[in-house]
Structure 1
Amino acid sequence: MQEHYFTADPSAPSRPDTVRVVLPDVDLTLATDRGVFSGARLDRGTRILLEHAPMPPRRGPLLDLGCGYGPIALTLATRRRRLPVWAVDVNDRALELTRRNAAALGNVSVGRPEDVPDDVEFAGIYSNPPIRSGKGVLHGLMTRWLPRLAPEGRAYLVVHKHLGSDSFADWLNAQGWPTTRLTSVQGYRILEVGCSSSEAPRSSA
């Protein structure tokens, strides 16, 4: 079920489908498939993130980290058509779906993590992170991408309380990324993460 977290080429047979993303300001019909995260429906945590996470306090590029078939990236790109939006994943099937879903928009770049140029800083990072893939993968994602927040940039992460949102927030704070709980809806916490303080220790875990 979590194969999309770590498999470039999912073994699940393809079964194309669509998912409709309906929000107060967005109405999208997106191509989906098996072998990608929540391919049969919009995940509840992702919906809560899209309903409650704000735009960051500064303008600049946005990142959908672990894009799946692209509901976060496409929503951000629809809301902010003049801002560049990056959508990254390790799952090739997910990336192809996101490219297809973004074809009508001109502000979405889709690729694997290594495809993002090193000099791109993000005003906002949005993610429903792969908690179930284990702390090593999760912490590695954070230590790779949170340092790429621009000054005054913010990351918005949605994690359910039963999947360790509070301990995850504690870990982020301990690494020097100031983290607060923005809101909690149906057990899902939206964590707002700021830039690291220069004095704080960093872990490569």
Structure 2
Amino acid sequence: MTDQYFSEQPGSASDPVSFRLEVGGVALDLTTDAGVFSRGRLDKGTRVLLTHAPEPAEGDLLDLGCGYGPIALWLAAQRPGATVWAVDVNDRALDLVRANAAAARLSNVRVCRPDEVPDDVRFTQLWSNPPIRSGKAALHELLLRWLPRVDGPSYLVVSKNLGSDSLARWLAEQGHPTTRLSSNAGFRVLAVERSETVA
């Protein structure tokens, strides 16, 4: 596949589709598009994450690999006093997050590419349905880049069939104690703690 949702510039023609997200007392009308993960719906993994992870914190929250923004916008609606950073490499996805945030009147969302996040920003929590299909090496590099910037827990949702248990073991080997919070609909919700080696 040459046109993956983790491509910077999706090659597929734009074909927007909207749907209504309703999870945990939050209702949002969101626009999705071709070339972006989970067009036209809330994917099962993200629904499991939003349903089974603990309450979001205040402060700076990171949605890593935000896609069209369901996690980031849900966090922003749940915690209007927080600043939610929606980060992705896919330019079409980032445009969708901006439009969806504006439509929902959520002014506490900061939308940017990875290199646009200021170096001095530290995060209270990280939330992610990470891009597993980008490959193990790319996924590991992504997590090792961002986990050290998180002062509290990180919540990941990963399909059991796509290696959630092996990822949890690998994270623990990197010094990030990892606990399985939930197993539902074939997905694991993992809580990843701050590295024991970080001062």
Q: Give the TM-score band, short-chain normalised.
A: over 0.9
Q: Which residue of 1 aligns with 2:144?
A: 143
Task: Determine the C-alpha separation between the residues in 1 that align with 2:26 and 2:197.
Answer: 38
1:173 aligns with 2:169: no
Question: Match of 1:51, as an amino acid?
Answer: T
Q: Which residue of 1 aligns with 2:159?
A: 160
Q: Which runs of 5+ in 2 are unaligned?
A: none
1:49 aligns with 2:41: no
Q: Which residue of 1 aligns with 2:26?
A: 26
Spell out, residue by residue over 1:47-73, the C-alpha distance to the aligned partner (whole angstroms, 9 max, x if none).
Answer: 1101111135x6321010001000000
- Cα distance, 1:187 vs structure 2: 1.6
Question: Match of 1:16, as an amino acid?
Answer: P
Q: Which residue of 2 aligns with 1:12?
A: 12
- Equivalent residue of 1:50, what SS? helix
Question: Match of 1:41, as an amino acid?
Answer: R
The total of aligned residue pairs comes to: 196
Spell out, residue by residue over 1:90-138, the C-alpha distance to the aligned partner (whole angstroms, 9 max, x if none).
Answer: 0000000000011111100001001111111111100001111111110
- Equivalent residue of 1:3, what SS? coil
Task: Determine the C-alpha separation between the residues in 2 that align with 1:137 and 1:68.
Answer: 17
Q: Which residue of 2 aligns with 1:92?
A: 91
Q: Which residue of 1 aligns with 2:76?
A: 77
TM-score, normalisation: structure 1? 0.92
Task: Determine the C-alpha separation between the residues in 2 that align with 1:76 and 1:172.
Answer: 24
Contact 2:58-2:79 at 8 Å conserved across structures = no
Q: Which residue of 1 aligns with 2:4?
A: 3
Q: Which residue of 1 aligns with 2:128?
A: 127
TM-score, normalisation: structure 2? 0.95
- Cα distance, 1:181 vs structure 2: 0.3
Q: Which runs of 5+ in 1 are unaligned?
A: 200-205
Task: Determine the C-alpha separation between the residues in 1 that align with 2:16 and 2:158.
Answer: 28
Contact 2:64-2:88 at 8 Å conserved across structures = yes
Deviant stretches of 4+, over 2 Å: none
- Cα distance, 1:166 vs structure 2: 0.4
- Cα distance, 1:15 vs structure 2: 0.5
Contact 1:55-1:124 at 8 Å conserved across structures = no
Q: Percent identical across equivalent pairs? A: 59
Contact 1:161-1:189 at 8 Å conserved across structures = yes
- Cα distance, 1:148 vs structure 2: 0.3
Task: Determine the C-alpha separation between the residues in 2 that align with 1:45 and 1:92.
Answer: 22
Spell out, residue by residue over 1:130-156, the C-alpha distance to the aligned partner (whole angstroms, 9 max, x if none).
Answer: 111111110011000000012xx0100
Task: Determine the C-alpha separation between the residues in 1 that align with 2:32 and 2:161.
Answer: 27
Instruction: Report the RMSD for the aligned CA atoms in angstroms.
Output: 1.5
- Cα distance, 1:24 vs structure 2: 3.1
Task: Determine the C-alpha separation between the residues in 2 that align with 1:41 and 1:101.
Answer: 14
Question: Match of 2:176, as an amino acid?
Answer: W
- Cα distance, 1:19 vs structure 2: 2.1
Task: Determine the C-alpha separation between the residues in 2 that align with 1:19 and 1:13.
Answer: 19
